[in-house]
Structure 1
Amino acid sequence: MASHILEIAENNRYLSIAHGNVCVKEQEKIIARIPLDMLACVMLTAQGVTVSKTFLMSMGEANIPVLIMGSNYLPVSMALPVSSHYRHLIVAQEQVRAGEVIKKQIWQKIVIEKIRNQAEALEKCVLPHDSAVKKHVEKLKFLAQRVRSGDKDNKEGQAAQIYWQALFGRGFLRDVEEEGINSFLNYGYAVVRAVCARALCASGLLPLFGVHHHNQFNAFCLADDIMEPFRPFVDCLVYEYVQKNEVLVLDTQAKRFLSSILQNPFYLQKEESTLLPLVLKAAQGIYKSYCAKEVLLEFPHLKEQ
């Protein structure tokens, strides 16, 4: 099952395909072979990496995203398949025809689930050793109940102000350009974003057409939409790592720990599952919602409900 991330962090590496495996070469020597069916995504963080056309073709055919990472582990490009679903045109037509009403209702659902998972993250991570955070948990649950269609009142932003301070302390500011905790969050979110983009393509949806995100320079608006409720899963991993390590260095050990999000258990309707099937279910829920003109979308939680 696709549950591993291949990151190329060293220069002078060459990636190719041979007999269903990704081959990583240094000069002419093969230093690693990874079966295609094990990979959830490939991340290129080194400056000097060479890939073959066959490699990119195979990644597309296997629906494996290839992320090109920029500064502070922010993805600047992503290679995705243009067709990985047998009803691609039909699905895309439903997506393009979707009206603003259903899009706003879907976004409402996404924000509700994101805030609920933020509350669960505080309960799981902070509450066991800081009872004062309970009031913040209750505030988040209160906000989640009052999210309106399209989140007109920006309950998402209000929740963020409460959440980040409660999770990482009053001095913490979420800034994608900063190092430390922020770079850890960036890395974890990049993994989830790639998984979301992969699931959308597998469902026949076009990632560039979002329900809320509409940046003209962003080809992955829908991926950025559906990943929102999954962000607190990353936050919990980062929190756990911060508590165990005095020095924050995004090294191989830290990346391996953050990548474990692909194997960690999450819960949907009391059933335990790993991340990839749950993200795929959410992507399929987007399409079902477009077709039915009502929200048929479910997201997992950190703990059994």
Structure 2
Amino acid sequence: MAWRTVVVTKHSKLNYKMNHLVVQTSEKTYQIPMEDIQIILITTTQAVVTAYVIAETIKRNIKIIFSDINGQPIGEINQYHTNGKHNRNISQQIVWTAQRKNLLWREIVKRKIENQSQLLLSHQTIDKEKFQALIDGVEIGDITNREAVAARMHFNRLFGTEFVRHEAGIVNAMLDYGYQILMAAVAREIVLQGYLSELGIHHNGAQNDYNLASDLMEPFRPLIDGVAKKYEQETELTLEIKLALVDSVNQVIEINGKQMLVTNAITILVRDAINYLNDGSKLPEWRFEI
């Protein structure tokens, strides 16, 4: 199973040779087996990528993500044909019932809040009873928006009461960068399973190509928050921080009593969610230890 995220940070040329990605820089040449690669993240505009590399990554379902001149992810390459049952799966996806989507969204929100509370507990900044009350109060479809309430409480306890999401600053820069990487990993898995990331269960932005990925990534967001907490005193989004954010999808967590890489946990969550939405008999109940 592919597990590596290759990060290209400097002037280089990317070639393909004998089932290997070949990255040539002015100092050194790197060769990485294509079968090991899950994502290629190009964080510089000084990299040259051959058409051969692009064609091979598309065939192998390796996601290439490109960054702008400021190093922020701005786009990726997707293939025309993915899963062999793509058309049948989309037909199923279109008729997913509102009841199942709302029940699944309640479970996702509860797991997200639970994982936020775990992170806060590790920093000894949690009001455990308040977060448990939020978890217990999540209704079908989260119609009272307990997710947003928990997010405000979470960020204010983790980064201080003055912190405001989406304002300028190093913490928000880290969160934005990390969430983009996480969303790409979830979107890749959705496409591999033959479904459209555009059609979500809760997110429904008309111009959001990743509505379903935005839904299913939610329980994993605290992993990015934890990395941002570690570097919150820094003043700029350095290469070291970017690599730490990228590597968050390669760390080991526990899900349903089994330890595994985050990428494998994403596979399980996406698979379970889609099985349930396709008339599966049991609502997934994920248990995380992050």
The alignment's TM-score, normalised by the length of structure 2, stands at 0.90
* Residue matched to 1:20: 19
Identity of aligned residues (%): 24
Shift of residue 144 of structure 1?
1.3
1:36-51 superposed matches below 5 A = 36-51=34-49
The correspondence for 2:189, drawn from 199, 217, 242, is 199
Distance 1:82 1:283 in 2: 21
* Superposition map of 1:3-152 within 5 A: 3-11=3-11, 13-26=12-25, 31-70=29-68, 74-124=72-122, 126-127=123-124, 133-135=125-127, 137-152=128-143
Match of 1:179 among 153, 169, 173: 169
**Which of the numbers 245, 262, 265 marks the counterpart of 1:258?**
245
Q: Is the 8 A contact 1:88 1:204 kept in 2?
A: yes
Cα RMSD after superposing both structures: 2.3
Aligned residue number for residue 219 of structure 1? 209
Letter of the structure 1 residue corresponding to residue 239 of structure 2: T
Instruction: Tell me which residue corresponds to 1:158.
Output: 149
Could you tell me which runs of 5 or more consecutive residues in structure 2 were left unpaired when the two chains were aligned. none
Q: Which moved more, 1:83-92 or 1:268-277?
A: 83-92
Q: Which digits, 9 at most, give the CA deviation of each residue in 1:262-305, with x for residues without a partner?
A: 332211122111111110111111221122266633445234xx
Q: What is the aligned partner in structure 1 of residue 273 from structure 2? A: 286
1:96 aligned partner, one-letter code: I
Cα deviation for residue 247 of structure 1 reads 3.0
Q: Deviations over 1:160-181 (max 9, x none)?
A: 1111000011121221x62311
Shifted more, 276-285 versus 76-85: the winner is: 76-85
**Change beyond 3 A, Cα 1:191–1:181:** same
Displacement after TM superposition at 1:123 (Å): 0.7
- Relative to structure 1, the CA distance from residue 51 to residue 71 in structure 2 (aligned partners, 3 Å threshold; closer, same or farther) is closer
Counterpart of 1:292 in 2: which secondary structure?
Answer: coil
1:62 aligned partner, one-letter code: R
Instruction: Give the C-alpha shift of residue 158 in structure 1.
Output: 0.7
1:212 and 1:59 map into 2 onto residues whose CA distance is 31
CA contact (8 A) 2:227 2:245 kept: yes
CA distance in 2, matches of 1:74, 1:108: 31
Residues 269-280 of structure 1 aligned to structure 2 (within 5 Å):
269-280=256-267
8 Å contact kept, 2:43–2:72: no
Q: Is the 8 A contact 1:229 1:299 kept in 2?
A: no
SS of the residue corresponding to residue 24 of structure 2 reads: strand
Tell me the CA shift for residue 30 of structure 1: 6.7
Distance 1:298 1:159, change over 3 A: same
Q: Distance in 1 between matches of 2:80 and 2:104?
A: 25
Q: Distance in 1 between matches of 2:94 and 2:80?
A: 16
TM norm structure 1: 0.86
Are the structure 2 counterparts of residues 179 and 72 from structure 1 closer, same or farther at C-alpha, using a change threshold of 3 Å?
A: farther
